[in-house]
Amino acid sequence: MTSVPISWYLLLAAALFVVGTLGALTRRNGISIFLSIEVMLNAANLTLVAYARQLDQRTGQLLVFFVIAVAAAEAAVGLALFIAVFRQRRTIDVNRLNLMRW
Amino acid sequence: MHELLWLIPVLPLLGAAINGLLGWRFPKGLVTAVAIGAPLASLLLALGCLWEYAHGGCPGGVCVQTLYAWTAGDLSIPIAFQLDALSAVMLFIVTFVGFLIHVYSIGYMGHEEGYRRYFSYLNLFMAAMLLLVLGNNFLVMFFGWEGVGLCSYLLIGFYSDQPFPPYAGKKAFIVNRIGDFAFLIGMFALFAKFGTLNFKPIFDAVAKNPGLVGGQYALGLSFAGFVALCFFVGAMGKSAQIPLYVWLPDAMAGPTPVSALIHAATMVTAGVYMIARTNVIYQLAPGVSQFVAVIGAVTAIFAASIGMAQNDIKKVLAYSTVSQLGYMFLAAGLGAYSAAIFHLGTHAFFKALLFLGSGSVIHAMGGEQDMQRMGGLGKHLPQTSKLFWIGCLAIAGIPPLAGFFSKDEILHAAAANGQWALYLVGLITAVMTSFYMFRAYYMTFAGRFRGTHEQEHHLHESPPVMTVPLWILAAGAVLAGFAGVPKLLSFGRDLNWFHRFLEPVIAHPHGLGTDEHGLSVGLEIFLVLLAIAAAFGGLFAARALYGRDAGIEKERAWTGRFPAVYRVLANKYYVDEIYDRLIVKPLAWISWLFWKGVDTFLIDTLIVNGGAAATELTGDVGRFTTTGNVRNYALYFFLGVILLFWWIAFR
């Protein structure tokens, strides 16, 4: 059984990470930014899993569970925040959420 | 009784505290009662202690009372009082004259605004002065020394609503600090050498260790010489000797009883007391002692010559005080410590008398101090006139008043030590003393009145509360001299009770004493007659110039012949001006430099305001990064992460 070389996984993870980063930096919709951050987290997860398999250790896989848990919590809190913001401001366009400035 | 010694300084301190801190609602009578009661109680206690002392109440001639031992590391300072012959004499003078001047002040200060404040300061002064003379180590003494300096400052500047008195007070305090600094250095040197500041162990160690005489310690002097010099510089400040005398004439800005008590009778003699106290050290330092004698003699003649040309009655007395202090230092420098203390005692009486007499005159004249506006006051102030006359006779050295005996003893000491130059200076000073005192007397009390009509109308003899203390002081000025009758006039017996009394405190390890060094009886009689002639010479010269009417015109005609000399004397040798140019102005200039350069520019502008400006500038620039836009923050965050990784990867 020929296994997929690790570099492929890493390249895919890097691509995902870049896509996520660019998305997080460029999107204006709060939920889109959120999604982008999830993409970045999953890129990191992919790397961890890939290495866990490559090195035949369980630590990386274990860590991924934590990351998923954190991501879920983050999503819950983040979405709640956006709902609260939307109730106040009728928008979640982050360009218009700039009251905290000089 | 001597277990109550500690109460003597503490009672006036309590009086000062009660009047000063609690007395703002007191009626005037209660203020007076507290202010007079405290020194009276001190006086009675002191007399009790002295009575007991005189009857052998102190074994070995010294009573020590330790209240509390203050310890810090190696340093152990007992807060202790000591009664021995020397402090007994000082104790008597300070409490007795001090009490009389308190009583006199009731009358003199009766109409003044700060009556309570005045008496609170005056009581505080008594406490500090008594601490000074009763302390049994240098630190307690120094505490009193600084305390009297503080009170002097407060009382010189008493009339704080006028411009000059506060200035004079500051001048006194600052000039005194110069001397105090040297005093401190001397104390440090003693502590470094002996590990204690108590009188007895130090003096015992010094007396047993003549090795301290030789060798070099500092400034090319032996240890004893160095310490002696430091203490003498301290004494120069407190006791107004050249070059630190300049504060005393200005100190006359204070109320007249203060001038009498602090700046004539007691505080300014602290330096003489200190030298007499440390005579063991001075006897091991003949060079410094000679220096003390020379400074004393020069100060004596210098101040006396200025006194001859002053028109302010208090200024005359101030320069006279400086001059008489010079006599005391002359005696101390010659090793005649008991003569110095003797003159200190007689001087306390007659100078307090003269000052208070002048106060009575000033009181009657409604604050006028210029003798050119006085004259003929003998008619209006008969008692004051007589009292002032007695004071003049005493200070001039007319026998058998007190000044004659004490001054003669000093002159005799100079002659007996073969110091004929100093003797001559002392003799000329005696002529001058007699001259300026009788000049003041005649200008004030003889002739006709030269003031304004209102002043003449206002003239009145002072109330008994002022004249009675004067009569008591006058009795002292007449009689005090008999405590120290010289051997020559003792008819073969030793009547110099004072000298014998002080004998235990004054050691003679190296023969630097006053004892006769082969002056023949004939020569001694001649010298005594010379001193008497000097006193009468001054008297008659003054009488010739000022005795009858029109004294001022005669003086002007006479001084007109030596305009330059008169101008120099009347302007006090321009010493204040010289100090101003040489010391005050450069110091003021340096201060200005520090003020403008260091304080205003470096600290205020550069560091404080500069720091604030730098913070504000960075804030002004940096605040543009706070856009409020989340995506910008995300970008910074991202860039920061990249930088961090960059650093981790390529460091």
Residue A25: closest CA among chain B residues belongs to which residue?
A: B631
Average pLDDT over residues B115-141: 93
The helix (run of H) or strand (run of E) holding residue B77 is: strand B75-83
- The DSSP secondary structure of A12-77, one letter per residue, reads HHHHHHHHHHHHHHH--BHHHHHHHHHHHHHHHHHHHHHHHHHHT-SHHHHHHHHHHHHHHHHHHH
pLDDT of residue B32: 92
What pLDDT band is residue B67 in, cutting at 50, 70 and 90? confident
pLDDT of residue B493: 61
pLDDT of residue B46: 93
In single-letter form, the type of residue at position B532 comes to: I
The helix (run of H) or strand (run of E) holding residue B410 is: helix B402-416
Instruction: Give CA–CA dist A23/B99, Å, rounded.
Output: 98
Residue B627: closest CA among chain A residues belongs to which residue?
A: A101
Say yes or no to pLDDT of B455 above 90: no
pLDDT of residue B549: 62
B540: nearest Cα among B441, B628, B456, B420 = B441
B132: nearest Cα among B318, B280, B277 = B277
Q: Does residue B581 belong to any structural domain of this protein? A: yes
Task: Name which of B199-213, B287-301, B317-331 the model is least confident about.
Answer: B199-213
Report chain B's mean pLDDT, rounded to a whole number: 87
CB contact under 8 A, B623 and A102: yes
CB contact under 8 A, A98 and B624: no
Instruction: Give CA–CA dist B131/B119, Å, rounded.
Output: 18
Q: For residue B438, what are the CA distances in angstroms to B23, B406, B431, B432?
A: 43, 19, 11, 10
pLDDT of residue B388: 93
Residue B619: closest CA among chain A residues belongs to which residue?
A: A102
CB contact under 8 A, B630 and A25: no
Token pair in block for residue A23: 């998305």
Window 34-93 of A: residues touching B by CB (8 A cutoff) are none
Query: What are B69's strand-pairing partners?
Result: B78
Contact by Cβ (8 Å): B299, B241: yes
Average pLDDT over residues B396-419: 88
Q: How many residues does chain A have?
A: 102
pLDDT of residue B514: 43
Say yes or no to pLDDT of B430 above 70: yes
Q: Does residue B641 belong to any structural domain of this protein? A: yes
What pLDDT band is residue B512 in, cutting at 50, 70 and 90? very low
Say yes or no to pLDDT of B513 above 60: no
Strand, helix or coil for residue B565 = helix
Q: Does residue B607 belong to any structural domain of this protein? A: yes
pLDDT of residue B508: 56
Q: Measure CB to CB from residue A97 to each of B630, B635, B638 and give the nearest one.
A: B630
B45: nearest Cα among B12, B85, B79, B84 = B12
Q: Is the peptide bond before B400 cis (omega within 30 degrees of 0)?
A: yes
Q: Measure CB to CB from residue A25 to each of B623, B628, B634 and give the nearest one.
A: B634
| Domains of chain A, start order | 7-90 (1.10.287.3510)
pLDDT of residue B391: 93
CB contact under 8 A, B631 and A28: yes
B441: nearest Cα among B492, B536, B374, B356 = B374
Say yes or no to pLDDT of B550 above 60: no
More confident position, B263 or B219: B263
Q: Does residue B501 belong to any structural domain of this protein? A: no
Say yes or no to pLDDT of B111 above 70: yes
Percent of the residues in chain B that have a pLDDT greater than 70, as a whole number:
94
What pLDDT band is residue A89 in, cutting at 50, 70 and 90? confident
Which residues of B fall within a CB distance of 8 Å from A94?
Answer: 629-631
Q: Does residue B162 belong to any structural domain of this protein? A: no
What pLDDT band is residue B204 in, cutting at 50, 70 and 90? confident
pLDDT of residue B390: 94
Listed as own residue / partner, the contacts of B505-508 with beta carbons closer than 8 Å and 24 or more positions apart are B505/B61, B505/B84, B505/B85, B505/B86, B505/B276, B505/B277, B505/B279, B506/B276, B506/B279, B506/B337, B506/B338, B507/B203, B507/B207, B507/B279, B507/B280, B507/B283, B508/B283
Q: What letter would DSSP give residue A93?
A: B
pLDDT of residue B518: 60
Domain extent for B624: 575-650
What pLDDT band is residue B551 in, cutting at 50, 70 and 90? low
Instruction: Give CA–CA dist B440/B372, Å, rounded.
Output: 10
Q: Does residue B623 sit at the A interface (CB-CB below 8 Å)?
A: yes
The Cβ-side half-sphere exposure at B244, using a 13 Å CA radius, reads: 22
Residue A27: closest CA among chain B residues belongs to which residue?
A: B631
Question: For B137-285, where are the alpha helices, taking DSSP H only?
Answer: 138-156, 164-194, 199-208, 223-238, 247-250, 256-260, 270-277, 279-283
Average pLDDT over residues B47-62: 85
Instruction: Give CA–CA dist B368/B256, Å, rounded.
Output: 12
CB contact under 8 A, B624 and A102: yes
Q: Does residue B34 belong to any structural domain of this protein? A: no
Say yes or no to pLDDT of B330 above 90: yes
Instruction: Give CA–CA dist B261/B104, Å, rounded.
Output: 11
Percent of the residues in chain B that have a pLDDT greater than 90, as a whole number:
47
Contact by Cβ (8 Å): B346, B479: no
SS (H, E, C) B459-507: CCCCCHHHHHHHHHHHHHHHHHHHHHCCHHHCCCCCCCHHHHHHHHHCC
Say yes or no to pLDDT of B491 above 70: no
Which residues of A fall within a CB distance of 8 Å from B621?
Answer: none
pLDDT of residue B145: 94
CB–CB contacts below 8 A, A to B: 33
Q: Measure CB to CB from residue A101 to each of B626, B635, B638 and give the nearest one.
A: B626
Say yes or no to pLDDT of B510 above 70: no
Q: What is the pLDDT of residues B626-637, one digit of tens each?
A: 888 888 888 898
Average pLDDT over residues B421-432: 93
What pLDDT band is residue B209 in, cutting at 50, 70 and 90? confident
More confident position, B495 or B11: B11
pLDDT of residue B517: 53
Contact by Cβ (8 Å): B273, B90: yes
Q: What is the pLDDT of residues B26-53, one digit of tens each?
A: 888 899 999 999 999 999 999 999 888 8
pLDDT of residue B546: 82
Q: Interface pTM (ipTM) of the complex?
A: 0.83
Q: What is the pLDDT of residues A54-86, one digit of tens each?
A: 888 888 899 999 999 999 999 999 999 999 999
Say yes or no to pLDDT of B342 above 60: yes
Q: Does residue B631 sit at the A interface (CB-CB below 8 Å)?
A: yes
Q: Measure CB to CB from residue A24 to each of B624, B629, B634 and give the nearest one.
A: B634
Say yes or no to pLDDT of B509 above 60: no
Token pair in block for residue B505: 């405190």
Q: Does residue B615 belong to any structural domain of this protein? A: yes
Handedness of CA B508, B509, B512, B516 (dihedral sign): positive
Q: For residue B196, what are the CA distances in angstroms to B189, B270, B275, B376, B507?
A: 10, 22, 19, 59, 21
Q: Does residue B626 belong to any structural domain of this protein? A: yes
Q: Measure CB to CB from residue B629 to each of A21, A33, A95 and give the nearest one.
A: A95
Average pLDDT over residues B58-87: 84
Number of domains composing chain B: 1
pLDDT of residue A65: 93
Say yes or no to pLDDT of B399 above 90: no
What pLDDT band is residue A102 in, cutting at 50, 70 and 90? low
Min CA distance, B628 vs chain A (Å)? Answer: 4
